[in-house]
Amino acid sequence: QLQLQESGPGLVKPSETLSLTCTVSGVPITSRNYYLGWIRQPPGKGLEWVGSIYYSGSAYYNPSLASRATVLEDTSENQVSLQLRSVTAADTAVYYCARQYLGYYSGSGSPLLYYMDVWGKGTTVTVSS
């Protein structure tokens, strides 16, 4: 059974880089049918997509975070990671890892993802000095 487990430091200083890992157990992340990605929830706010990656390394990002975020996959460790640079207090949130079903590719080569069917329990990150 597929399980996702997020991990990383709970406290990050402003201007530094937030680094999180999502460990996938039960199935290899090299499945052709799924992306893996990160979603966050700041305190008192709703869910916000951060970025998603295919096993081939093709990644997509929230335009508002694209200049600071990098999502990478490590197929040998069956993990996906998130790096968010130059963090501020606004990046304080619970960060979730989620599997995302790939429907098909459009004629332009862009993916169409249909839904997020498996989520991790999330990890809380606080940005503070």
Partner 1 sequence: QSVLTQPPSVSAAPGQKVTISCSAGNSNIGTDFVSWYQHVPGSAPKLLIYDNNKRPSGIPDRFSGSKSGAAATLGITGLQTGDEADYYCATWNSRLSEGWVFGGGTKLTVL
Min separation Cβ 1 and partner 1, Å = 12
Q: Residue 34, interface with partner 1 (CB under 8 A)?
A: no
Say how many residues touch partner 1, by CB under 8 A: 30
Min separation Cβ 105 and partner 1, Å = 10
Q: Residue 8, interface with partner 1 (CB under 8 A)?
A: no
Q: Residue 52, interface with partner 1 (CB under 8 A)?
A: yes
Q: Output 74 or 117, the one with its CB closest to partner 1.
A: 117
DSSP states along 28-91: -TT-TTEEEEEEEE-TTS--EEEEEE-TTS-EEE-TTTTTTEEEEEETTTTEEEEEE-S--GGG
Output the CA–CA distances (angstroms, integers) from residue 119 to 5, 68, 77, in the order listed.
9, 23, 19
Q: Residue 62, interface with partner 1 (CB under 8 A)?
A: yes
Rounded-to-10 torsion of CA 4, 32, 81, 7? 10
Task: Using CB under 8 A, list all residues that contact partner 1.
Answer: 37, 39, 46-49, 51-52, 60-63, 96, 98, 100-101, 103, 106, 110-117, 119-122
